[in-house]
Every structure is written in C-alpha cells, then in structure tokens.
Amino acid sequence: MNWKTVFNPFEKFDEKWLLLASILTVIISIAMGYWSGTAFFSIYRINNVEIVSLQAIALPTLASFAFSIIILFILGKILNSKTRFIDIVNTVLLSQLILIILQPIDQIPFINAAQKRMILYSKNPTESIPLLDMSVMMGMALLSLVLLTYSIAIFYNGFKTATNIKKWQHIVLFVVISLVTTLICQILTSKFI
C-alpha cells in the first residue's frame, strides 16, 4: 500500500468491499454516538445530544449522511451521467470513518478536565496560564485538524474518482455545493430532527 492508496482507496479497492466498510461506518458512528452522547448533524459537524437515545443519535446521523449522498449524487449525475450511486455512497461514508475518532473526545477524562479548567481560566484570566491544559487543548485541536483534513481528502478524491471530474470549474462547483450542503444539513437537522 502506498500514499496514493491511503488518500484515494477508491482506485485500489473493489466497490463492494468499500460498501461494506461504508455500512460499518454508519453502524460504528451510531454506536459510538450512543456511547458518547454525540451525533453527526452534518457530515462535518458532530454535536452533543441532550437526551441520549438510539433514535436521538441515529436520526440526525442517518439524515445527514443521506442528505449529502443525495445532493452529491445529483451533482455527480449533472457532471457525468455515468456516475454510480454506490460510488457516491462510498465517498460520503468512508470520508466520515476517520471522524468517528472525534466522537468520544469529551469522554476522555483528562481532556474533559482540561477543557473545564481552560473554561475556568477564560472566565478569570488573572491566574497563571494552565500550560498543561493549554497543551492538551492545542494537541486536540491539531489532531482534529489532521483528521478533518484527511477526511476532506478522502471526500474529494472519492467524488473525483466517482465522477471523473478534471475541470477546475467542476472542482469549484463541488466545493461550493459541499459547503452549502453541509450548512443546510446542519440547520435542518438541528431544527427538525
């Protein structure tokens, strides 16, 4: 396995194996959400839920995944009529697999304690800066940024492979549609689900 495979598994692996990994992504994200009290409110937004139940976790997670799949499939068909639904499903869901790591972050005791101490410090900044807590928070921010960047690379490469887009205009359209879809999905899931 080389770096190209790591950032674009869609070219190397059979779509049926990728679909199996995609289905596992959904199952794991719901299970992890149930354990951590979080759900995907869009493909790049994980929120805490007030009342933890299987329904409260599964509905926004499934809705956000489905919404993104439908919008990207429509865009894919517009850009290339040969775009297959299975490829778009794999693109969206596999890009979320790595983000599942971020769901239980608040459940880790030393991270949770560091967050609370940093909040207390921000309310009363006259005390000395808690360097260890700040380091923990900076480390978590860096980890989140790396995971998010990797997820976006998988998302982009999957869509590019599924639709065979090459023109810069198509890439810009993909980026704009993805951002708008993510924002609309966040609004819809937080208001109606």
Question: What pTM did the predictor assign?
Answer: 0.90
SS3 per-residue string spanning the chain:
CCHHHHHCCCCCCCHHHHHHHHHHHHHHHHHHHHHHCEEEEECCEEEECCCCCHHHHHHHHHHHHHHHHHHHHHHHHHHCCCCCHHHHHHHHHHHHHHHHHHCCHHHCHHHHHHHHHHHHHHHCCCCCCCHHHHHHHHHHHHHHHHHHHHHHHHHHHHHHHHHCCCCHHHHHHHHHHHHHHHHHHHHHHHHHC
**Residues β-bridged to residue 45:** 42
pLDDT in tens, 109-137: 888 888 888 888 888 887 777 889 889 99
Tell me if 181 sits within 8 A of 68, measured CB to CB: yes
Tokens of 30: 């719901």
Which sequence spans correspond to the domains of the chain? 3-192
Q: What is the largest CA-CA distance in the chain?
A: 62
pLDDT in tens, 10-66: 988 999 999 999 999 999 999 999 999 999 999 999 999 999 999 999 999 999 999
pLDDT for residue 11? 86
> Does pLDDT of 4 surpass 90?
no
pLDDT for residue 5? 81
